[in-house]
């Protein structure tokens, strides 16, 4: 019997859902493994411990920086402060040298310093069968129980906001991984600008989350990683058990991202989009949150609103297609 080989990227939701259904409960685990939630929350009394793990598998350039940032994002979207980082660094056998290990270590330390995070340990090894390094990070953070925010917190009437535009991370990855190929097409200035998306506007949403939660009643937050903004909207809808109605006429797609995605035939909506914070806000707080973000130099766009109904995402009268995998996976096949 032929096997149905899974595509590159996240496990399909139906497969993952069946696996997660088998996980036993623990009374101290307030949020365990579930679709749409990217971090675990453990009851530690007045303070909750937030735990997140995520690998970096697409990017190779600045991989240590990526690993810290994407894990910190998912901790920050719970309202928590990222505190402690651990890294498993797998280097490709026959290709790695001490210089590669040193560069990744320096990238991790630089990203931790930028966010006030302490590196507390991990594991390193030279691994058989790899053609590039892989870094899997684990990040711990803390949040007061009364300030905890979940992806599943969206409620009917809430407004749906997105910061900075998209796809920031995909733009940086494509420009860095395909630089030599792209420069003759777009010119060195444009490719360098796209590669610079890693730090400007940057793939971190830690500051976005802090400003938003300090300005008004934020009901849910989510970091659009693999599968991009389209997948993130679906995950928010599923986690919250609501319908998301997108009414914005023009998606906030950043120009360099649009050009690079068009060049490779990729849909920006389905491309990895760390750097944009997806959040829902109580209607009476929407204007205050947008104003606070924009006053801090962080663009914020209102995408639409939350409605009562099944866990679905609608756009212009149609169900928004849910990506089966991240668009940039096509570049790594």
3-state secondary structure of 320: coil
According to DSSP, the β-strands at 300-307 and 29-31 are: unpaired
Rg of the chain in Å (alpha carbons):
19
Q: Binning pLDDT at 50, 70 and 90, where does residue 1 land? A: very low
pLDDT at 92 over 50: yes
Q: Which two tokens stand for residue 253?
A: 């797609």
What mean pLDDT is predicted for residues 55-72?
89
pLDDT at 332: 79
pLDDT at 60 over 80: no
pLDDT at 2 over 60: no
Top-confidence residue, 198 or 61: 198
pLDDT at 71 over 90: yes
pLDDT at 59 over 50: yes
**Helical segments of 151-205, H only:** 168-177, 179-186, 188-195
CATH architecture observed for domain 151-332: Alpha-Beta Complex (3.90)
Measured between alpha carbons, how far is 77 from 136 in angstroms, rounded to an integer?
19
161 close to 280: Cβ distance less than 8 angstroms: yes
pLDDT at 98: 96
Question: For the segment 138-175, what is each residue's pLDDT rounded down to a tens digit?
Answer: 999 999 999 999 999 999 999 999 999 999 999 999 99
pTM of the model: 0.91
What mean pLDDT is predicted for residues 92-118?
96
Question: For the segment 232-273, what is each residue's pLDDT rounded down to a tens digit?
Answer: 999 999 999 999 999 999 999 999 999 999 999 999 999 999
Measured between alpha carbons, how far is 91 from 149 in angstroms, rounded to an integer?
36
pLDDT at 333 over 80: no
Sign of CA dihedral 101, 103, 108, 110: positive
Which CA distances in Å does 232 have to 80, 158, 282? 20, 16, 19
List the chain domain ranges. 25-147, 151-332
Classify 25-147 by CATH class: alpha beta
Q: Dump the DSSP string for 244-275.
A: EEE--SS--B-HHHHHHHHHHT--GGGS--TT
283 close to 243: Cβ distance less than 8 angstroms: no
pLDDT at 300 over 70: yes
pLDDT at 5: 86
What mean pLDDT is predicted for residues 207-211?
97
Name the percent of the chain lying above pLDDT 90.
87
Q: Which two tokens stand for residue 156?
A: 């009917």
Measured between alpha carbons, how far is 305 from 161 in angstroms, rounded to an integer?
9
């Amino acid at each position: 019997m032929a096997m149905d080989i899974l595509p590159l990227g996240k496990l399909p939701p139906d497969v993952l859902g069946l696996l997660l259904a088998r996980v036993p409960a623990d009374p101290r685990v307030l949020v365990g493994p579930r679709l749409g939630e990217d971090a675990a929350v453990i009851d530690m009394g007045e303070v909750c411990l937030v735990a997140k793990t995520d690998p970096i598998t697409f990017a190779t350039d600045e991989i240590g920086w990526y690993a810290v940032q994407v894990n910190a994002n998912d901790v920050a979207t719970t309202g928590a402060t990222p505190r402690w980082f651990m890294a498993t660094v797998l280097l490709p056998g026959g290709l790695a040298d001490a210089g590669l290990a040193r560069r990744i270590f320096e990238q991790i330390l630089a990203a931790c310093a930028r966010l006030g995070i302490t590196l507390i340990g991990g594991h390193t090894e030279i691994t058989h069968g790899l053609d590039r390094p892989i870094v899997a990070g684990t990040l711990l953070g803390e949040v007061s129980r009364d300030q905890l925010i979940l992806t599943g917190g969206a409620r009917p009437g809430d407004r749906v906001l997105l910061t900075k535009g998209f796809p920031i991370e995909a733009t940086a990855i494509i420009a860095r991984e395909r630089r030599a190929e792209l420069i003759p097409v777009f010119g060195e200035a444009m490719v360098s600008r796209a590669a610079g998306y890693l730090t400007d506007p940057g793939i971190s949403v830690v500051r976005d989350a802090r400003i938003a939660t300090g300005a008004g009643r934020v009901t849910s937050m989510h970091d659009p990683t693999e599968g991009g903004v389209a997948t993130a909207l679906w995950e928010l809808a599923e986690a919250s058990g609501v319908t998301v109605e997108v009414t914005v006429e023009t998606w906030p797609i950043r120009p360099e991202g649009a050009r690079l995605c068009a060049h490779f035939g990729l849909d920006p909506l389905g491309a990895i989009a760390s750097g944009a914070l997806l959040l829902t806000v109580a209607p009476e707080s929407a204007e205050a949150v947008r104003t606070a973000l924009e006053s801090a130099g962080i663009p914020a766009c209102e995408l639409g609103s939350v409605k009562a109904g099944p866990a679905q995402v609608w756009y212009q009268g149609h169900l928004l297609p849910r990506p089966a995998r991240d668009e940039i996976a096509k570049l790594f096949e």
